[in-house]
Amino acid sequence: MKIYEINEFGIENLTLTNRETPEPKEMEVVVKFHAASLNYRDLMMVNGWYNPNLKRPRVPLSDGAGEVVSVGSAVTKWKVGDRVTPIFMQGWIDGAIDFQKARTALGGDVDGVLREFGAFDENGLVCIPEHLSYEEAATLPCAAVTAYHALFCSDGLKPDDTVLLQGTGGVSIFALQFASHFGAKTIITSSSDEKLERAKELGADEFINYKEREDWDKAVSELTEKRGVDHIVEVGGAGTMAKSINAVKMGGHIAVIGVLSQGDGVNPVSILQKSIKMQGIFVGSRQMFEDMNRLISQNHIKPVIDKTFDFSEIQDALKYMQSGSHFGKIVIKY
Ligand SMILES: NC(=O)c1ccc[n+]([C@@H]2O[C@H](COP(=O)([O-])OP(=O)(O)OC[C@H]3O[C@@H](n4cnc5c(N)ncnc54)[C@H](OP(=O)(O)O)[C@@H]3O)[C@@H](O)[C@H]2O)c1
């Protein structure tokens, strides 16, 4: 089978090579991948920014979707032909995360999905919602589960809450879709008015161009009659955190997710004086993935795919992500 490996860091150094097609062990199923999607983490992984000590060679990408083509002798959950996506952390089935579970992430700790076939423990997969194609399902394991975890499992979104979403990348657009379907009010920021228009079509209520309004925290305050928002899906990181702390309401919730921008440290005084709840989010468990898939199926939610590249165009796809031109998800078709 064809696979890509990280040997040396850098997009241009991704190596296309061959490995033997896996056979399933007793408890394993073999999945033939039809699609994958990119996350910002994959870009960092390939460039060596995520973990400079990454064990190599390593197959990158955490998110794929495909069909079961063979099953081990003790497998009870799956049969040939089932449509599945592997979960991000193969060892995190349910409950709270721990160190061991956190060390089982695809495309980092273990080989990822940028390969034609993969063998997975039968517990490390979920069913694809019926109304989704392989390309659409491939967008779910990291970005969508992270958004779901941030909104519904960390501090319980309520229908009359207001949520702030930062930018129009994968996590933020899923969070916009979920929050809108749930009936919450959404404020979204972007560097582009054109992208804000697209966010409007997806149900966003209020819009801030963070290039034009560098004081976007003040803009949030104006939009909420100085109260601040109930939740922030914080993907900006060091460069946005101080303003997020200004933009959240007293006792509000910040889901700490991303590292998209650089900046200075934050002052803890306002965190304590505003009694802000800050929760670090690391994707989510299989249980969260399954609960999210129910929400997606019941509401017929369709992931937003910006652009699809062929398996052979992975370098172009990663460069496209690096350019930040996308809205929603970038997909790789096998
Ligand atoms: N903790 C976790 O479990 C977890 C899971 C998934 C992702 N993440 C992290 O979350 C972040 C987003 O991931 P992703 O895959 O959704 O990324 P992505 O699809 O590449 O999103 C990039 C977009 O973010 C926006 N952005 C960039 N800098 C920004 C800033 N300073 N302020 C506001 N928006 C900004 C831009 O949107 P516009 O073009 O509209 O401005 C950009 O196009 C990454 O740091 C990723 O590592 C963490």
Tell me, using a 6 A CB cutoff, whether residue 41 lines ligand 1.
Answer: yes
Q: Among 42, 82, 78, which residue's Cα sits nearest to residue 65?
A: 82
Average pLDDT, whole number, for the chain? 97
Which of ligand 1's atoms lies nearest the C-alpha of 196?
A: 40
Q: Is the CB of 192 under 6 A from ligand 1?
A: yes
pLDDT for 114 equals 98
pLDDT at 323 over 90: yes
186 vs 161: CA distance, rounded Å = 9
Q: What is the spatial distance between Cα 9 and Cα 274, in angstroms, rounded to a whole number?
A: 42
Q: Looking at domain 2-142+283-333, which of 3.40.50.1100, 3.90.180.10, 3.40.50.720, 1.20.120.1200 is its CATH number? A: 3.90.180.10
Q: Kindly report, residue by residue over 114-173, the tens digit of the pLDDT.
A: 999 999 999 999 999 999 999 999 999 999 999 999 999 999 999 999 999 999 999 999
Q: What pLDDT digit, counting tens, does each position of 11-20 carry?
A: 999 999 999 9
Q: Where does the chain hold its CATH 3.40.50.720 domain(s)? A: 155-280
Task: Give me the CATH code for the 155-280 domain, please.
Answer: 3.40.50.720
Reported confidence tier of residue 189, pLDDT bands at 50, 70, 90: very high
Find residue 132's DSSP bridge partners.
none
The pLDDT, as a whole number, for residue 264 is 86
Closest ligand 1 atom, residue 259 Cα: 45
Give the pLDDT of residue 73: 98
Tens-place pLDDT, residues 54-76: 999 999 999 999 999 999 999 99
CB atoms within 10 A of CB 122: 19
Residues of CATH 3.90.180.10 domain(s) within the chain?
2-142+283-333
Residue 244 · residue 220 · CB < 8 Å: no
Q: Which of the four pLDDT bands, split at 50, 70 and 90, describes residue 265? A: confident
Helix, strand, or coil (residue 117): strand
Using most ligand atoms within 8 A of CB, pick from 39, 233, 264 the residue to mutate for ligand 1: 39
Provide the whole-model pTM.
0.98
